[in-house]
Amino acid sequence: MGGEMLPPDEAGPDDVVLAWQGADVVAVRLPQLADSLDHILAAMERKRGKPLADLDRKAKQEVVRILEARGAFSVRHGVETVASALGVSRFTVYNYLNRDKA
């Protein structure tokens, strides 16, 4: 997901501080959701062994289903980011999303 561990005393207001037996031991700084989407897309490319844009239509539809389940489209510009990674238009991504709901 791209989180970063840091000493608890360096934690900011948005960081998550983890404690063990009552003592703060580590803080975790989570990336912004948009950064997480980039990490997810990169992981999907690594798993498939090629750029997402090189996948066939059925595989791209599967990618969109997985990303929707992970909340990728609740991120600002999520559809645009995914469309760019898949090498398709925003309209095509919306079609893939709507196809699953029909």
What is the tens place of the pLDDT at every residue in 36-94? Answer: 788 889 999 999 999 999 999 999 999 999 999 888 888 788 999 999 999 999 999 99
Q: Which amino acid is at 90?
A: R
Q: Token match 């969109």: residue?
A: 64
| Residue whose C-alpha is closest to residue 53's, from 87, 80, 89 | 87
**Quick one: how far is CA 2 from the chain centroid?**
10
Q: How would you list the strands of the sheet with 23-29, edge to edge? A: 4-6, 23-29, 16-20
pLDDT, mean of residues 22-44 = 82
Tell me what pLDDT residue 23 has: 93
In the predicted model, is pLDDT for residue 34 greater than 70? no
Query: Residue 24 pairs with which residues in a beta bridge?
Result: 19
Letter string b/e over residues 23-53, b meaning 16 or more CB atoms within 10 A of that residue's CB: eeeebeeeeeeeebbeebbeebbeeeeeebe
